[in-house]
Amino acid sequence: MDALKIDESGGHDAVPDAADFTLSDDPFGLFAAWMAEATASEPEDANAIALATTGADGLPDVRMVLLKGYDARGFVFYTNVESAKGEELAANPQAAFVLHWKSLRRQIRVRGPVSRVTAEEADAYFASRHRDSRLGAIASRQSRPLSGRDALMAEVAELSARYEDGPVPRPENWTGFRIEPVAMEFWRNGDYRLHDRVRFTRNGEGWDRSRLYP
């Protein structure tokens, strides 16, 4: 059998940046710039993040979710608080996530404590969702055993009939969580694994910046 050959160059050149991003003093501005580029170029779900939490048993857990908002306060995603991730965040309200854009050869890592968004924020986002997604959020006992897909679809149909064309209320067990970053790291692919990395660490109201070895 032939030996497996790996292209240490990464397969192609890294996507060039107009400026050296490792010199930026504003991690949120850099995040917004990279997200805008990804949104314009990625085929779908440029906002998909791998979200890591840790439960009461100390074991880490990770899954893909969608980042639904970000500003200077932090990064927001939504879920059922009775789901596995919701229960893990209740036991240990800290989380981390990574964004990886393969076509841009970039990734961003974020970690920090987690808190719930306000009821007003959750209501506003829930109301913006497609009606069927709202019905699904009510019907799903997320992370719990399901006897079969027919049972789920029957519940969705019953809810659809109950609310007809009226408003679909946000269930109390569905809300958003905000990760308030204490560290943010930006990575760009380099040929032969000579990548560019810069890490921002929270220092009071500001940030300390460190360039890292690949």
Which residues are documented as binding site? 63-68, 78-79, 85, 107, 125, 129, 133, 142-143, 187, 193-195, 197
DSSP 8-state code for residue 205 = T
- Helical ranges in 140-173 per DSSP H: 149-163
Decide if 75 contacts 178 (C-beta within 8 A).
Answer: yes
Q: What angle do CA 86, 183, 81 make, to 5 degrees?
A: 5
Name the DSSP letter for residue 135: H
Binding residues for FMN: 63-68, 78-79, 85, 107, 142-143, 187, 197
> How many Å apart are CA 191 and CA 12, to the nearest integer?
8
Strands, DSSP E only, in 18-154? 48-54, 60-66, 69-71, 74-80, 94-101, 106-116
Rg (CA), the chain: 20
In degrees, rounded to 5, the angle at the alpha carbon of residue 78 between the alpha carbons of residues 51 and 56 is: 55
Q: Distance from first CA to last CA of the chain, Å, rounded?
A: 32
Considering the candidates 193, 199, 209, 211, report the single residue annotated as catalytic. Answer: 193
Q: Could you confirm whether 178 is annotated as catalytic?
A: no
Token code pair at residue 75: 């990064």
Whether 197 and 213 have beta carbons less than 8 Å apart is answered as yes
Q: Which residues are catalytic?
A: 193
